[in-house]
Amino acid sequence: MRRALPVAVCLAALALALPARAVSPLSLRLGADALLNGGPGVFSLGLGVESGLGRRVSVGARFGGLITTSPTSGGIPLDVFLRLHFPRVYFEGVGGPWIIFTGGDTVRGHAAVGFGLLARDLELGAEIGFVSPDRTQLGVRLGFRI
């Protein structure tokens, strides 16, 4: 019993001295979008990498795959983003090319603004933007830090 107390005190001190777990720079994001003005629905899965520029600002990139509905086709979204972090919320600007495998416009421009809630390794957000040539985009996002 006498030996257990110093060991317990040392373990408790070591646990308190360890730094907080760092946030992973990698994320996996699921998305669902409606392209208004007669456009299709879009479902996406993407991998993102993020790097901090300051205490509340980060920059990153996302790439992955997407599937559109009517007409059904696939594609690759390539986006860069600038994100502002606050304790439990974020605001971001996103943009880049989306490569769609069918139709006359293979490469389409994408620009959007988003906001959402942060909870440790989980984020839930919304996005409103533009996909060329003339589609307004409304979407939801669910992200996981990996």
Percentage of the chain with pLDDT > 70?
84
Q: Which residues contact 130 (CB under 8 A, 6 or more apart)?
A: 109, 110, 111, 112, 136, 137
Binned at pLDDT 50, 70 and 90, residue 6 comes out as low
The candidate with the shortest Cα–Cα distance to 51, out of 97, 19, 7, 85, is: 85
Question: How is the chain split into domains, by residue range?
Answer: 22-145
* Contact present, 130 and 110 (Cβ < 8 Å): yes
Whole-number Å distance between alpha carbons of 96 and 41: 19
Q: What is the pLDDT of residues 77-91, one digit of tens each?
A: 999 999 999 999 999
Provide the residue type at 130 as one letter: F
pLDDT of residue 12: 46
* Mode of pairing for the β-strands spanning 73-85 and 122-131: unpaired
To 5 degrees, how large is the angle CA 20–CA 23–CA 29? 155
pLDDT of residue 3: 61
* Contact present, 67 and 73 (Cβ < 8 Å): yes
The candidate with the shortest Cα–Cα distance to 29, out of 74, 58, 66, is: 66
pLDDT of residue 86: 93
Whole-number Å distance between alpha carbons of 18 and 60: 28
Question: CA-CA-CA-CA torsion for 139, 93, 37, 65, nearest 10 degrees?
Answer: -60
pLDDT of residue 20: 41
Q: What mean pLDDT is reported for the chain?
A: 86
Q: Span 22-145: which CATH code? A: 2.40.160.20
Q: What is the pLDDT of residues 9-52, one digit of tens each?
A: 544 444 444 444 456 799 999 999 999 988 889 999 999 999 99
